[in-house]
Amino acid sequence: MGVLIGSAIAIFLVTAVVVNLVLVLRIPVRVMRRTMKLYPVNQWVFARPATARDRAIVRPSPDLHYSILCYDVSRGPLRLRASIPEGQYWSISGYSNRTDNFFIINDLQARSNPIEVVLVPKGARYLNATGKAHLVTAPSKQGIILIRTVITKRADLPRLREIQRRSTVELLEARG
């Protein structure tokens, strides 16, 4: 009977740990999948400054102008171009399908304006002919790209929106 009880306790503990860890590991993937379903794939979405009505993504900053792109590099690299407004904080960042922030480039680090970022799937190659592009390897085929621009004053919003709308995305041919 002692062996039976000991074995049952061991099975109980192992099951509890495994179930807990599996569920925890799935949370970021599920949250990202749910979030990405809200937006079109490989297409910029230009959000208005967040208000209390925005319930898609937790803890939005009301002081930032966001551009969101749900990327999918399964068919090849993506070339992203975006204009950077002068005089305020700006950044472009990438998040894998498990929420990791795998790259971040701000206005002070950008090699050019407009900035050019080429998102390359794992194992693929891209020839950076001009040398101006920021080459970034995507750790997952799907994920999110986010552009943040600080809104310094509300009167500046039309100018920021005009700059924001110049952002483009282009699917490139895969090699290798």
Partner 1 sequence: MLVWWIVAVVIAVAAGAAIGYLSVGPLLNLVTRLSTVKNGPWGTSLAAGSVSANPYLRAWIARHALLALRKEETIYFSAYTDEDGQPLRGECDYRIEGRAPDARWWSITAYGEDDFLIPNEQGRYSWGSTEIALDEEGRFTIYLSRTPKPGNWLPSGEARRLCLSLRLYNPGPVYYDRQSLKTVELPRIIREG
In the complex, which residues of this chain contact partner 1 (CB under 8 A)?
4-5, 7-9, 11-21, 23-25, 27-28, 31-32, 35, 50-55, 57-63, 88-89, 91, 93, 95, 98-102, 104, 106, 144, 146, 150-153
CB of 130 to partner 1, least distance (A): 26
Closer residue to partner 1 (CB): 16 or 171? 16
Closer residue to partner 1 (CB): 64 or 163? 64
Q: Is 46 exposed, middle or buried (0-12, 13-18, 19+ CB in 10 A)?
A: middle
Structure tokens at 18: 């495994």
Report residue 164 CA to chain centroid gap: 17
Query: For residues 121 and 174, is the Cβ–Cβ distance under 8 A?
Result: yes
CB of 101 to partner 1, least distance (A): 4
CB of 117 to partner 1, least distance (A): 15
Closer residue to partner 1 (CB): 54 or 162? 54
Q: Is 120 exposed, middle or buried (0-12, 13-18, 19+ CB in 10 A)?
A: buried
